[in-house]
Amino acid sequence: MNEQEIKEMLQLLHQAGMRAELCDTPVRLAGATAHCGDPAEIGDDDMSEYILLPKALVGMYPEMFVPVEGDSMRDAGYEPGDRLRVRFGVTAHDGDNVLAMVDGRCTVKSLLTDEDDLRWLVPQNENYDAIELTEGMDVRIMGVVVGVEKASTRASTRSLLRAVRRTKNNKKAAKKLTEEMIDTDIMRISNAVVHARQWYAVFRAMVDKELIEEGSYVGFCERVRRLVPGHQHLPDSKELSRMAVQSFAKPVALWTEDNAPVRGNRYRDYLNIALQMGALLGGRND
């Protein structure tokens, strides 16, 4: 991707309301881990790599990415393999998560001064004890954690498959329910049908709702025969297809008597059946 393409991509993201920034400023990456557990040693020789960040995010204070090890800061969302973005040279306040050097060993904890004016490094995992910072200890607050880069942005394939299967099952259940409801509506409208060809009005209303395909007369007729086998005027697919002419070939809302294959009371009977079926369906496919 060239520079112009990058600029265009950033512009599109900004237009979409996303505050995207180009990562073009190097920040040092510590090779050693910041222990979210028992303190561990870390030295200058461990500063081995760099990671790029947006220039706007890197201020006047030096910063470093430090990999996480241990789980004492689990409740803060820090997990092994994550990389903490640590800012150096700033004043740490109570509640800040800090990278501290305690007697030559490095650890990440939350800083707190209690009601007795005692200072503590507090884990965010109840399985660990807080560390009291006493006068006899060599303590340096090296930096404040200002961000965390998660170890992976990839999702679990297993969890994704579960979500997809759940969606498929929900769709199947919804489809089954819809089909049962439509069957009920067909049986209810059957009382209004007094001529075999009038089933075309029912068919057309279902097509308008996108519940069946245009021209699927055979399947529709089989469905009606299955649902109301004792009806005196069962539909025939060929007869229904002959009705799909002039305005009857269009959605019911566009039917007109002067351009229909039937006139007068017969036209009004077809129209009333189609409207009744549409009302029964009641937007079930919305």
Catalytic choice (7, 48, 55, 109): 109
**Active-site residue, selected from the candidate residues 7, 55, 72, 156:** 72
Show the tokens assigned to 67.
């990999």
Cα Rg of the chain (Å, integer): 36
Pairing verdict, β 119-122 and 23-30: unpaired
Half-sphere exposure of 231 (CA within 13 A, CB side): 26
Q: Which amino acid is at 138?
A: D
Sign of CA dihedral 147, 151, 155, 156: negative
Catalytic, 247? Answer no
Known active-site residue 216? no
Q: What is the β-pairing status of strands 47-54 and 23-30?
A: antiparallel
- The angle at the Cα of 35, spanning 157 to 53, to the nearest 5 degrees, equals 65
Which positions are annotated as active-site residues?
72, 109
